[in-house]
Amino acid sequence: MSKKVKNILADKTWNPVTGCTKISPGCLHCYAETICEWLCKMGQEKYKNGFNLLLHEDSLSEPVKWKRSHHVFVCSMADIFHEHVPFSFIDKIIRTIMLTPQHKYQFLTKRAERMSEYFQHRKIPHNLWLGVTVESKTTKNRIDIVRTMNAPVRYLCCEPLLEDLGELNLDNIDWIIVGGESGSEVRPMKKEWVLSIEKQARDSGTAFFFKQWGTWSEDGVKRDRYVNGCTIDGKLYQQFPE
Ligand code: SF4
């Protein structure tokens, strides 16, 4: 039943910003914090500030050098719309995205209001997908913001899913990713919460991607996340937006 978890959502990460601060229930066991602090201890120059926010001008042109086309997750060690990332710096990131139409890019934020403010008077590149994290009922307002964005793909990332989200309005939402939390002190994710989202996605024609159970398994037991896998009742759900 178990399948190995692998990242098939994006094949590259690009980190012109590193570091962040917590703003949401989903931030409690932030993996980016753990990794940034570990890389700092390992003496990596880019992570010399640990999880304190840092802008990396020297990383801005990285995607221009990539010969093959990639699906790029932008700022996996930060929230690109963090209040300390100036709009002028996001402009530079967008410039690189527009210069490299051979790549597809994904932004994911918990700061949906700031994303909306940024794009209010700016065009969204045709190769940029915009997403918001929706891990609990209190964060569902982010869905209303992302659905209004004129992006080629608008998506929700319900990871780590912390409770039953109840009824979802999925108008203008192209894709939903769901996943559980990993680590030693993780919060469980229940199967019925996942199935409720899957059904609503199916009913509304929204692509549904189940990423992983995390440390709590489908049968409510804590195990290694690789053993718990990414199937529901033995079935993979790995749809992508068209
Ligand atoms: S917004 Fe994302 S990167 Fe920032 S603390 Fe929360 S989980 Fe970590």
Structure confidence by residue, pLDDT tens digits, 109-125 = 999 999 999 999 999 99
Mean per-residue pLDDT over the chain, rounded: 94
Q: Flag whether pLDDT at 1 surpasses 90.
A: no
CA of 67 to the centre of ligand 1 (A): 30
- Does the residue 1 lie in any domain? no
* Terminal-residue alpha carbon distance, the chain: 28
Q: What is the mean pLDDT of residues 215-235?
A: 91
- Does the residue 241 lie in any domain? no
Give percent of the chain with pLDDT exceeding 90.
90
Decide whether any atom of ligand 1 lies within 6 Å of the 186 Cβ: no
DSSP for 165-202, written as a single string: --S---TT--EEEEE---STTPPP--HHHHHHHHHHHH
Q: Under the phi-then-psi rule, with left for phi > 0, alpha for psi from -120 to 50, and beta for the rest, what region is 43? A: left
| HSE value, Cβ hemisphere, 13 Å, CA-based, for 33 | 8
Decide whether any atom of ligand 1 lies within 6 Å of the 27 Cβ: yes
Q: Whose Cα sits closest to atom 1 in ligand 1?
A: 79
Residues 15, 20, 24, 29: is their CA dihedral positive or negative?
Answer: positive
Could you give the CA distance from residue 26 to residue 110 in angstroms, rounded to a whole number? 9
Q: Whose Cα sits closest to atom 4 in ligand 1?
A: 20
- Does the residue 137 lie in any domain? yes
pLDDT band at 7 (very low <50, low <70, confident <90, very high): low
Alpha-helical runs (H) found in the chain: 31-41, 62-65, 87-99, 112-119, 141-146, 191-204, 225-228
| Per-residue confidence (pLDDT) for residue 157, from 0 to 100 | 98
Q: What is the mean pLDDT of residues 82-99?
A: 98
Atom of ligand 1 nearest to the CA of 110: 1
Domain that holds residue 186: 12-236
| Per-residue confidence (pLDDT) for residue 232, from 0 to 100 | 94
Q: What is the mean pLDDT of residues 29-50?
A: 95
| Per-residue confidence (pLDDT) for residue 58, from 0 to 100 | 97
Residue 171 neighbours by CB under 8 Å, 6+ apart: 147, 204
pLDDT band at 8 (very low <50, low <70, confident <90, very high): low
Give percent of the chain with pLDDT exceeding 70.
97
- Does the residue 191 lie in any domain? yes
- Does the residue 2 lie in any domain? no
- Does the residue 4 lie in any domain? no
pLDDT band at 2 (very low <50, low <70, confident <90, very high): very low
- Does the residue 35 lie in any domain? yes
Tell me the pLDDT tens digit for each residue of 53-64: 999 999 999 999
| Per-residue confidence (pLDDT) for residue 146, from 0 to 100 | 98
| Per-residue confidence (pLDDT) for residue 4, from 0 to 100 | 39
Tell me the two tokens of residue 231: 């199937």
**Per-position b or e across 138-151, b if 16+ CB within 10 A of its CB:** ebbebbebbbebeb
Q: What are phi and psi of 105, to 5 degrees?
A: -120, 150
Decide whether any atom of ligand 1 lies within 6 Å of the 20 Cβ: yes
- Does the residue 56 lie in any domain? yes
Give how many domains the chain has, as a whole number.
Answer: 1
Token pair 């009742």 is found at 233
Burial environment of residue 183 by CB neighbours within 10 A (0 to 12, 13 to 18, 19 or more): middle
